[in-house]
């Protein structure tokens, strides 16, 4: 068995053949297309903040039950892109969107689709841990349900299941009534992950989830991502290229609002096809 390849690379097809890779650096752009197990398909996605055109014709497939990383310098549009995936972009005043995003083949911008319901299917974890400070750990986990004015069938079971999935249960099971803000930063971030998981989403968007965490807490969240992708589709935005290399199966490099290259993480970090990707990931920013 070749242990250097992805767990099931046969599920995917890429138009980048061995022949094209690096032949003419910068000209052999990859256009990885996931033909099986596609959870989200983005087609010609464009986004604006006022007059600023921040995403330009982004087309890519997000593989189901895999982690896809978005990398690129600040302002490249990677956070905007994931905020388009759960329609958070449109809530910003002056923000506009054009294109198509299909979740399991359904257009998420269809007028009949309720964005609130969409956000239950496509959960999100933000850069800074943001538990509700006045709520207990238990109530933080159930916050999504409460905000929707609903009550799960078995709240205690859901709290335990979500905290276990977020690898936090053992640390908090005896203090569930304490405030969420009593936890360490890393624990708070895993609490936010548990809160997102309690809504039983299909996709988890993570916007720089470890940027405020120390290396130990970061390692725990990364370990968690490895476990979560067995059940969920994960899209992670990160400024840490090592993190993208460690946790993701696919990596997209965005620059100035354009998708420069999208390929398996292994290919991106060992033999990127595009010179701009090469320059960025090797630290040649001049």
- Binding residues for other proteins (CB under 8 A): 18, 21-23, 241-242, 245, 269-272, 277-279, 281-286
By DSSP bridging, strand 203-207 and strand 122-125 are: parallel
- At 57, which helix (H) or strand (E)? strand 52-63
- State the nearest-atom distance from the C-beta of 277 to other proteins, in Å: 8
For other proteins, give the closer residue by CB, 182 or 240.
Answer: 240
For other proteins, give the closer residue by CB, 98 or 284.
Answer: 284
Measure CA of the first residue to CA of the last residue in the chain; give whole Å.
41
- State the nearest-atom distance from the C-beta of 81 to other proteins, in Å: 22
- State the nearest-atom distance from the C-beta of 263 to other proteins, in Å: 12
| Residue 25: both structure tokens together | 């650096």
For other proteins, give the closer residue by CB, 183 or 281.
Answer: 281
CB-based burial label for 78 (10 Å; 0-12, 13-18, 19+): buried
DSSP-assigned beta bridge partners for residue 63: 38
Q: Give the C-alpha separation, 200 to 211, whole Å.
A: 25
- State the nearest-atom distance from the C-beta of 175 to other proteins, in Å: 37
For other proteins, give the closer residue by CB, 93 or 286.
Answer: 286
- State the nearest-atom distance from the C-beta of 25 to other proteins, in Å: 9
For other proteins, give the closer residue by CB, 177 or 242.
Answer: 242
DSSP-assigned beta bridge partners for residue 66: none
SS3 assignment, position 240 = coil
DSSP-assigned beta bridge partners for residue 204: 123, 234
The DSSP 8-state label assigned to residue 136 in this structure reads B
């Amino acid at each position: 068995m070749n242990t250097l390849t992805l767990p099931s690379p046969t599920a995917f097809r890429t138009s980048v053949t061995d022949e094209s890779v690096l032949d003419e650096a910068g000209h052999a752009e990859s256009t990885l297309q996931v033909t099986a197990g596609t959870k989200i398909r983005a087609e010609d996605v464009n986004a604006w903040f006022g007059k600023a055109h921040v995403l330009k014709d982004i087309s890519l497939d997000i593989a189901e039950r895999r982690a896809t990383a978005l990398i690129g310098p600040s302002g490249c549009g990677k956070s905007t892109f994931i905020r388009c995936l759960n329609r958070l972009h449109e809530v910003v005043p002056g923000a506009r969107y054009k294109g198509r995003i299909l979740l399991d083949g359904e257009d998420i911008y269809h007028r009949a689709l309720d964005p609130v319901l969409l956000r239950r299917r496509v959960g999100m974890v933000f850069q800074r841990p943001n538990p509700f400070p006045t709520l207990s750990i238990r109530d933080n986990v159930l916050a999504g349900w409460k905000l929707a004015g609903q009550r799960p069938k078995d709240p205690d079971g859901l709290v335990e299941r979500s905290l276990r999935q977020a690898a936090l249960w053992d640390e908090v099971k005896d203090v569930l009534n304490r405030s969420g803000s009593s936890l360490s930063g890393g624990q708070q971030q895993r609490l936010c992950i548990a809160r997102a998981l309690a809504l039983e989403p299909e996709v988890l968007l993570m916007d720089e989830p470890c940027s405020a965490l120390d290396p130990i807490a970061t390692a725990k969240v990364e370990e968690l991502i490895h476990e979560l992708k067995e059940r969920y589709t994960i899209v992670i935005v990160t400024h840490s290229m090592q993190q993208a290399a460690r946790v993701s199966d696919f990596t997209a490099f965005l620059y100035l609002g354009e998708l420069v290259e999208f390929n398996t993480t292994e290919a991106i970090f060992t033999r990127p096809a595009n010179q701009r990707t090469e320059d960025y990931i090797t630290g040649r920013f001049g």
